[in-house]
Amino acid sequence: MTQPLRVAVIGHAFMGAAHTHAWRTASRFFDLPYTPEVTLLVGRDPERTAAAATRLNIAETSTDFSQAVNREDIDVVDICTPGNTHAEIAVAALEAGKHVLCEKPLANTVAEAEQMTAAAERAAHRGVHSFCGFSYRRAPALALAQQFVAEGRLGQIRHVRAQYLQDWLADADAPLTWRLDKDTAGSGALGDIGAHSIDAAQWVAGQRIEGVSAMLHTFVPTRPLTGDTQGLGGTGSAEAARGAVTVDDAAAFTARFSGGAVGVFEATRFALGRRNANRLEINGSHGSVAFDFERMNELQYFDGREEQAAQGFRTIQVTDAVHPYTDHWWPVGHGLGYGDLFVHQVADVVASLHSRHPAQPDFAEALDVQRVLHAVETSAGENSRYTPVERHQV
């Protein structure tokens, strides 16, 4: 029996449940140096937190994150809360000597992300590690794409093309949630899903974004309030009260990369029919790779140096034991799913705590993403609307 690694999960909704599942599952498939145990669940509402703890089979709950930070029997603080709370929790946890896993994006502002990164750097000198949860890095097919680029198979990288398309907000009468409030979420599609594209593009291409030209747009300016969002303000009768959407619904930008590549990015939650189409294509002087999470166990690969290159892309089913992560799971051809990305994340984090070589991405890499998000918002603000001159027929 390995030594336990005691975890406090802060937040119990979508991400809290995904992370809890991963902490519980990782040691059953990966040979880990520690055995993770979810010891404490923290949430804002006592009744909802207790109900979630019962569902997730967590013995202890709290509505005060400082209990997780100050308890001596907690080793890791896992932050799965909205972005406006990340900095306060992470800095306190790091200063208390807790390892920290924080969901993306790292914060709501560059200043907060810089504060968190500085705290992480100070803690690292004491052997305390920090990680940011860009979970798509743990998709075996995307990890294989990164490996191909690092091995030089694509040659000089020329194009980076990234899309993240969802449709869960396409209904104009879908209710207002915290993800649509800038004070809570920081940004809309840009930070929620575009941050994943930025991180994946930089990681796979092995280059950093150095400049952007951007546009942000909000299609639906108000949405119905619910019991959870009354505090966001609204107008109209109690039956028809609507609150303001203060974030972007869609983001589009071009990018210049440090190694000479050019990039095109799009993020939207209004692409009807696209449920979770997280796509990345990279074109180089020797070949290309293309990934789409809606076919997450496949990687499209084109080698322009092969005699049969005229036949186009070939599909690699990324389920063999030689592929990243997959040797820990099922027989060849038995694909993985969304929740398994978080299991891989936990496996990497736990292994790094033992080896004392921090897993990536750390807070410094997440800060790089935060700076790109800020640059996109700044550029979009500068690219103001203009009215075309009316043309008159002669």
| CATH number for the domain that contains residue 102 | 3.40.50.720
Same domain, yes or no: 99 and 178: no
Same domain, yes or no: 166 and 59: no
Which of 355, 266, 391 is closest to 34 using CA atoms?
355
Work out the number of other CB atoms within 10 angstroms of the CB of residue 189.
Answer: 28
- pLDDT for the residue 365: 98
- pLDDT for the residue 226: 86
Give the range of the structural domain holding residue 176, as residue numbers without chain letter: 140-295+297-336
Same domain, yes or no: 62 and 179: no
Work out the number of other CB atoms within 10 angstroms of the CB of residue 355.
Answer: 10
CA distances from 306 to 184, 251, 309, 313, 373 (A): 51, 37, 5, 11, 39
Q: What beta strand segments (E) does the chain contain?
A: 3-10, 34-42, 60-62, 76-79, 99-103, 130-133, 157-165, 209-217, 222-224, 242-244, 250-257, 262-268, 277-284, 287-292, 298-303, 314-317
- pLDDT for the residue 383: 81
What is the distance of C-alpha 308 from the center of its chain? Answer: 37
Whole-prediction pTM: 0.94
DSSP character at residue 206: T
Residue 355 within any structural domain of the chain: no
Work out the number of other CB atoms within 10 angstroms of the CB of residue 164.
Answer: 29
Mean pLDDT by 10 residues, the chain (394 residues): 93 98 98 98 98 97 97 97 98 98 98 98 96 98 98 98 98 97 98 98 98 98 83 55 97 98 98 98 98 98 83 95 97 97 98 88 98 98 72 54
- Supply the Cα-derived Rg of the chain in whole angstroms: 22
> Alpha helix (H) ranges present in 330-384?
338-355, 363-382
Same domain, yes or no: 152 and 96: no
Same domain, yes or no: 57 and 187: no
Distance CA 348, CA 353 (A): 9
Longest CA pairwise span in the chain (Å): 87
Work out the number of other CB atoms within 10 angstroms of the CB of residue 208.
Answer: 15
First to last CA, the chain: 87
CA distances from 98 to 7, 67, 94 (A): 10, 12, 5
Same domain, yes or no: 119 and 160: no
Same domain, yes or no: 193 and 85: no
Residue 379 within any structural domain of the chain: no
Residue 345 within any structural domain of the chain: no
Contacts of 295 (CB under 8 A, 6+ apart): none
What is the amino acid identity at position 17? A
Same domain, yes or no: 57 and 169: no
Tokens 């979630």: give the residue: 52
- pLDDT for the residue 394: 46
DSSP character at residue 387: P
Q: How many domains does the chain have?
A: 2
Q: Is 155 exposed, middle or buried (0-12, 13-18, 19+ CB in 10 A)?
A: middle
| Strand duo 3-10 + 76-79: pairing | parallel
Same domain, yes or no: 88 and 149: no
Q: What DSSP letter does each residue of 110-171 carry, written as one string?
A: HHHHHHHHHHHHHHHTTT--EEEE-GGGG-HHHHHHHHHHHTTTT-SEEEEEEEEE--TT-S
- Does the N-terminal peptide bond of residue 331 adopt cis geometry, omega within 30 degrees of 0? no
Q: Are 128 and 77 in contact (CB under 8 A)?
A: no
Same domain, yes or no: 153 and 108: no
Residue 368 within any structural domain of the chain: no
Same domain, yes or no: 27 and 144: no
Distance CA 7, CA 101 (A): 10
Residue 374 within any structural domain of the chain: no
Last residue of a domain, one of 77, 106, 135: 135
Contacts of 131 (CB under 8 A, 6+ apart): 99, 100, 101, 102, 345, 349, 352, 358, 359, 361, 362, 363
Half-sphere exposure (CA, 13 Å, Cβ side) for 167?
6
Q: Are 218 and 380 in contact (CB under 8 A)?
A: no
What is the amino acid identity at position 178? W
Distance CA 201, CA 279 (A): 10
Work out the number of other CB atoms within 10 angstroms of the CB of residue 269.
Answer: 23
- pLDDT for the residue 357: 82
φ/ψ of residue 199, rounded to 5: -65, -45
